[in-house]
Amino acid sequence: MATARGLRPREQEARIPHDGRAHVETCPFCKGNEDKTPPTIVALPNEADWEIRIVHNLFPVLGTESDRANISVGMQQIMDGYGHHEVIIDHCKHGMEIHEMSLGHLKMLLGVYRRRMEELFVSDSRIRYVLVFKNFGSAAGASIKHTHSQLIAMPIIPENVYNEVASSHAYYQKFHQCIFCSLIDEALTFEATIYNRGSGEVRRKVDVGQYVIERGERFIAIKPFASRYEWEVHILPLEHSSNFTRATPEDMADLAAVLKRTMQRLDKVLGGAQYNFYFHSTPRCEAFRDCDASYHWHMEICPRTTIPSGFELGSGLFVTTISPEDAARQLREAL
């Protein structure tokens, strides 16, 4: 953390002006243009009057055509680009943003994320991970402006997920508790004051709930103490659960409420900031069959306010110009 850097000019990522248009004639994701996308996989609540539509991605990162054995040459490992890449049109209204969607709609959206994830795991035994994510803004990777998210089902466990699952498993073996549950407990119940040894002055103070952004009946939104992005927020189930596909309709209703309020807060403070969000849940993997007790599924929201520089890329260290306590306070006070 370098708050002094906050005073210096820093390359800021552009904010996206709010697009209130419900319908754009030339948009392939708008109603009436269904023939401009690949065929529908799922339409909710129904095909004729859909509010959410899932289609195959026209430019897939992974596809199902190739199905050959993996080959390696020396240290070069090659694998066919096998998998599924789907686009989830979040809302029939073109410029609708997550924080503006009704609770009923968000519940339906979260429900269909869960459903597709489960269906792909069940129908395709080669799939090891299904990543559901959203890109908002071109700097965050969105090429089409109509509100949408994506899903990529892959035959490998992505490194970020692997590292989380492996590290939390190691933590569990050492401390016999889930590290995510411990983080939630700490955010809700921990306070501390650290004094200067010589002068006795207060150096640092941690208050109960200082990192809590939003709390529902079943979910909590937390500002991580040491996050990569300065406004990063994670949403986790309060009750321990390792896999998103096991979330119930009641869970989805509460998650919808916590997500909406969290996105409202971020919008209020950051006004149109580009962002990504994605879900982390247990992969299908023999080596991690027993990670139900040690892993805890969650959602990570990463607002892209500043542009990572050579320092971030070269070192893997991320500089933030606002303390996690300040960021959390601003987000808490926003509504």
Binding mask 251-280 for Zn ion (x = CB under 5 A): -----------------------------x
Contact 29, 90 (CB under 8 A): no
Give DSSP secondary structure letters for 43-93. EES-STT-SEEEEE-SS-SSBSS--PPPEEETTEEE---BSEEEEEE--SS
CA dihedral sign, ordered 269, 270, 271, 276: negative
Choices 105-113, 142-150, 251-259, 263-271 (CB under 5 A): range interacting with Zn ion: 142-150
* CB-based burial, 85-97: b 16+ in 10 Å, e otherwise: bbbbbbbbbbbbb
Residue 329 in contact with Zn ion, rule: CB under 5 A: no
By C-beta, is 21 or 268 nearer to Zn ion? 21
Using CB under 5 A, pick the residue from 31, 56, 240, 268 that binds Zn ion.
240
Tokens found for residue 109:
């959206």
Which amino acid is present at 210? Q
Binding mask 74-113 for Zn ion (x = CB under 5 A): --------------------x-------------------
Residue 30 in contact with Zn ion, rule: CB under 5 A: yes
Minimum CB–partner distance for residue 175 and Zn ion (Å): 12
Using alpha carbons, list the distances in angstroms from residue 48 to 30, 34, 45, 179: 13, 11, 9, 46
By C-beta, is 139 or 144 nearer to Zn ion? 144
Question: Measuring CA to CA, which residue among 187, 194, 195, 217 is closest to residue 324?
Answer: 187
Minimum CB–partner distance for residue 209 and Zn ion (Å): 19
Minimum CB–partner distance for residue 78 and Zn ion (Å): 28
By C-beta, is 11 or 159 nearer to Zn ion? 159
Residue 146 in contact with Zn ion, rule: CB under 5 A: yes
By C-beta, is 121 or 180 nearer to Zn ion? 180
Minimum CB–partner distance for residue 207 and Zn ion (Å): 23
Residue 27 in contact with Zn ion, rule: CB under 5 A: yes
By C-beta, is 240 or 284 nearer to Zn ion? 240
Minimum CB–partner distance for residue 307 and Zn ion (Å): 22
Question: Measuring CA to CA, which residue among 96, 152, 99, 156 is closest to residue 126?
Answer: 156
Contact 237, 251 (CB under 8 A): yes
Calpha distance 189→182 (Å, rounded)? 10
Q: Which of positions 191-220 make contact with Zn ion (CB under 5 A)?
A: none
**Applying CB under 5 A, which residues contact Zn ion?**
24, 27, 29-30, 94, 146, 178, 180-181, 240, 280, 296
